[in-house]
A and B are shown apart, each in its own frame.
Chain A
Amino acid sequence: MISVTLNGELHELELDPDTPLLWVLRDHLGLTGTRYGCGEGECGACLVHLDGAPVKSCQTPLAAAADRTVTTIEGLSPDGRHPLQLAWILEDVPQCGYCQSGQLMAAAALLNESPRPTDAQIDAAMSGILCRCGTYQRIRRAIQRATNPEARNG
């Protein structure tokens, strides 16, 4: 039995501890907002927070989450109104949208660390999350918008 606090709720899971967190979320718990893009740690579509830090859930066995806190895109905010989510809507960031859970979770982890990140910090935090549709420019603008209170609702 493995205990994980997932999006604020305690789960007791009787699963193979080797199961990647990605598939625990998607197939066992029905939280499909975390996406499969490669399963090899190379795209970041599966990014979630483990105790607030960004991890690629396809590379994180369930055992590594035991007695820890996991946050997925579904738990990023109670009402979909995290400053980043609002900024994403205002900048119309997503195209196909498939990579965007990973993008938002990576950006949210960055903001947990550095509420006013520099461009270099944004580059470092975001460059591992691939977007085939090419939304990077808008992602940067949305992060800047979310971290700059004057620009937030403009």
Chain B
Amino acid sequence: MVETTDACRLTRRTLLKIGALAGGGLLLGLPLHARTEPPDAAPAELAPNAWIRIQGDGRIRLVLARSEMGQGVMTALPMLLAEELEVGLDQIEVESAPVDPAYINQLLGEQATGDSTSVREAWTGLREAGAVARTLLIKVAATTWGVPEAECQARRARVQHADGVRSLTYAELAADAARLPVPDQVTLKSPADWTLIGTRQRRLDTPGKVTGGARFGLDVRLPGMLYATIQPCPVLGGSVRNWRGDAARQTPGVVAVLPVRRGIAVVAETTWAALRGRERLELDCRSPASGIADTDRIRDRLRIGLTGRGTLAHRAGDATTALETAAQRIEALYEVPLQAHACMEPMNCTADVGPDHCAIHAPTQSQQGALATARRLTGLPAERISVQTTLLGGGFGRRREQDFVADAVELSGYLRRPVQVIWTRADDLRHDYYRPMTLHRLHGGLDDQGHPVAWLHRIVGPSVLARLNPSAIHDGIDPSLVAGAVDLAYAIPHLRVEYRRADTPVPAGLWRGGGHTQNAYVTECFLDELAHLAGQDPLHLRRRLLAASPRHLRVLDLAADRAGWTTPPPAGVARGLALVEAFGSLIAEIAEVTLSDNQVRVLRVVCALDCGQIVNPDTVRAQIEGGVVFGLTATLKGAITLADGQVEQGGFDTFPLLRFDEMPAVEVHFVPSESAPGGVSGIGTAAIAPAVANAVFALTGQPVRTLPIRLASGVAVS
């Protein structure tokens, strides 16, 4: 008998639906509207919004409503269903969800993947769905045998009677289970009985990824499909004035050359022919009315926002007065540059548009956005549009955008043939929605005991959500720009955080870790500047400021212990510490760095993570490792800059990524927790820049106030 904890009422009981599958099976879904008619009136067809399909032939299919982009949802989310359904991961198939309101990510408000939300959002709902199915299957078995349900146990897709003799498979029970009404309440398993959650499960997507069989967006092959590439105006926001496509058209294999919204498209029988044809295009562009962007001008624009009025984002006490009366004061200006996503798989999409259908095959983080884009461009009703999600060769927020989807829908609509649009690496780097550039002015004050008493932080930067989600902006505050700055955990009595919006012509978007990546860098580095001023150890100062926050102390102490914080590092090596709270999780990272040839080299990163209940521990570890690497690229390697309106970086030569031989040893240690899961994708990224910058500060005595870290020539190790 499964040991169960308190029965919980279904959080989405009114939304649960049971249906019969054609061929006798059980379907469990969450439709938008509660059904009132008896379940046997359910259509015999597959409803599109199921979570679980138990078929008469024994196949068990679990629906994945989030995009697999490396973060492991294809394994972690089915684990939640399978745990309660009592099936093994080896007994299931995973299929990706179509677009349906049932699959909306409640934390994002749309059917989309991002912001480190997937497991957090699915945690209760998917387990309940699994538990409902299990409850029904047990009920049917108990009725069949004329025994109490308490004598029946579900295990590995079978219900067994306590006599050890009678047992029925889910396939045998499914058809009858589909005729039962939804139970009023179900009992979730007690954590002590979990066999999947919290255990290391090998990822279900790995086998295809080591044989070449995994299908990414660029691997879609449809009959009669054409390949296309689009030459945009190189100047951001520019538009085509004149173009000549004769030479491109004459390129062998080129089928069509035509203007589209984003530039001039070259369509061909193969990718190579399209790319070659594109090289022969002649393009004359006019500059945008909004002006030509370059990095210096953007910086000047942001600088204006450092003075004058700002919008109050957070206040505690009276920081201005406290600063005036502080025994010691310090002021610092930080600059965080533009960053690109640089997904390893460049943007792409395949679409097949006809007079009455539109099929999209896309590596997208937003199925709902893709559907809306197709509706807008084709005028077709939603039921004529399908969105098939492929694997994503990286996402990091970039693939919530719709520009690449629009390309394919538009071109296929013109040509009435399936078209795959591929962006080159240069397109991908030069036409991104970048993590915006931000400036930060900070003032800090210490009392005569060296205790921080005043903290003022002015953030200047363009709004990201004004375009993506305007309803999230309240009182002029873009939450994505102030995340991590307005919710400092440190007990500093007088705090004032202000935001000054300064839009620039550079498209701004969501980046792995969001605004935390800028604000964690700035606040954690400035805290080390205060510690330096006070002559205190950075760990010691943090512990004092967090004396009333045991959860924070636990990650700090675990990281410090594993990194050997109190043992001095070898000569020429220094340690830097950063603490970040984001997405419901907490991380402390300690980086050990050294300098070689005037370059920063990160040797080791020790991470202590409290992310609540862990579903698949090894995936969480991988997410932190990967997040650290993603953040190290932005900390050490490069940034996006503009000159004459164009992004200067068009390849990995000018936008280098951290390489294999630059990889530090990354250790991830968990603080055990039974709280609901927190997000982990972005948090490792947010903490690494300040950890490394603080180590460089410790090593050189010079605070690092701009990224990427560039040492003055001949910097001495102090």
Contacts and interface: CB of A to CB of B under 8 A. Distances in A.
B221 A30 contact: yes
A97 interface: yes
A138 interface: yes
A34 interface: yes
A131 B344 contact: yes
B233 to A, nearest CB: 21
Contact of B391 (A96, A129, A137): A96
- The interface residues of chain A, by DSSP majority, are classed as loop
A117 to B, nearest CB: 13
Contacts of A33: 211-214
A139 B660 contact: yes
Interface string B355-394: 0000000000000000000000000000000000001111
A42 B652 contact: yes
Residue of B252, B619, B651, B661 ringed by the most chain A CB atoms within 10 A: B661
B285 interface: no
Nearest to A96: B70
A99 B510 CA distance: 23
B317 interface: no
A28 interface: yes
A96 B202 contact: no
A137 B663 contact: yes
A74 B346 CA distance: 22
A95 B396 CA distance: 12
Interface string B681-705: 0000000000000000000000000
A139 to B, nearest CB: 7
Nearest to A98: B393
Residue of A27, A42, A128 ringed by the most chain B CB atoms within 10 A: A27
Given A23-B271, A133-B394, A134-B629, A98 B212 contact: no
B344 A45 contact: yes
Contact of A32 (B221, B343, B657): B221
Residue of B346, B619, B629 ringed by the most chain A CB atoms within 10 A: B629
B212 A92 contact: no
Given A123-B660, A132-B657, A134-B630, A89 B394 contact: no
B76 interface: no
B219 interface: yes
Interface string A74-113: 1010001000010011101111111111001000000000
Contacts of B227: 27
A103 to B, nearest CB: 9
A80 B657 contact: no
How many A residues touch the partner, as a band? 35 or more
B394 A132 contact: yes
A74 B657 contact: no
Contacts of B71: 95
Interface in B186-213: 202-203, 205-213
Interface in B392-439: 392-396, 422, 424-425
B392 A96 contact: yes
Contacts of B528: none
B210 to A, nearest CB: 4
B575 to A, nearest CB: 19
Contact of B665 (A27, A133, A137): A137
A1 B483 CA distance: 61
A143 B449 CA distance: 54
Interface stretch (B456-464, B531-539, B595-603, B620-628): B620-628
Nearest to A40: B651
B443 to A, nearest CB: 36
Contacts of A98: 216, 343-345, 393-394
Interface string A5-41: 0000000000010011001001110111111111110
Interface residues of B, number: 62
Given A38-B651, A42-B651, A138-B622, A97 B660 contact: no
Contacts of B665: 137
Given A33-B212, A74-B212, A95-B626, A127 B275 contact: no
B264 interface: no
Nearest to A22: B272
Contacts of A93: 206, 210
B713 to A, nearest CB: 25
A65 interface: no
Contact of A127 (B70, B391, B660): B660
A7 to B, nearest CB: 10
B202 A92 contact: yes
Residue of A36, A74, A123 ringed by the most chain B CB atoms within 10 A: A36
A27 B272 contact: yes
Contacts of A28: 270
Contacts of B81: none
Interface in B251-271: 252, 270-271
A50 interface: no
A4 interface: no
Nearest to B392: A96
Contacts of A20: 272
Residue of B393, B396, B424 ringed by the most chain A CB atoms within 10 A: B393
A88 B344 contact: no
A130 B211 CA distance: 18
Contacts of B666: 137
A37 B344 contact: yes
Nearest to A85: B210
Nearest to B220: A32
Contact of B424 (A39, A74, A89): A39
B294 interface: no
B133 interface: no
A100 to B, nearest CB: 5
A55 interface: no
Contacts of A34: 212
A143 B522 CA distance: 38
Residue of B72, B207, B663 ringed by the most chain A CB atoms within 10 A: B663
29 contacts: A23-B272, A26-B271, A27-B271, A32-B218, A33-B213, A33-B214, A34-B212, A36-B218, A37-B425, A40-B652, A42-B651, A42-B653, A74-B212, A88-B210, A89-B207, A92-B206, A92-B622, A94-B210, A96-B344, A97-B393, A98-B344, A126-B661, A128-B659, A130-B652, A132-B396, A133-B394, A134-B663, A136-B658, A139-B660
Interface of B: 69-72, 202-203, 205-216, 218-219, 221, 227, 252, 270-272, 275, 342-346, 391-396, 422, 424-425, 618-619, 622, 625-630, 633, 651-653, 657-661, 663, 665-666
Q: Which 8 A-B pairs have the closest CB atoms?
A: A33-B212, A134-B629, A98-B393, A96-B70, A95-B70, A97-B209, A73-B212, A134-B626
Given A97-B205, A129-B660, A135-B626, 16 more contacts: A23-B270, A23-B272, A26-B218, A26-B271, A33-B211, A37-B346, A38-B425, A40-B652, A80-B207, A95-B70, A97-B393, A126-B661, A130-B657, A133-B630, A136-B663, A140-B663
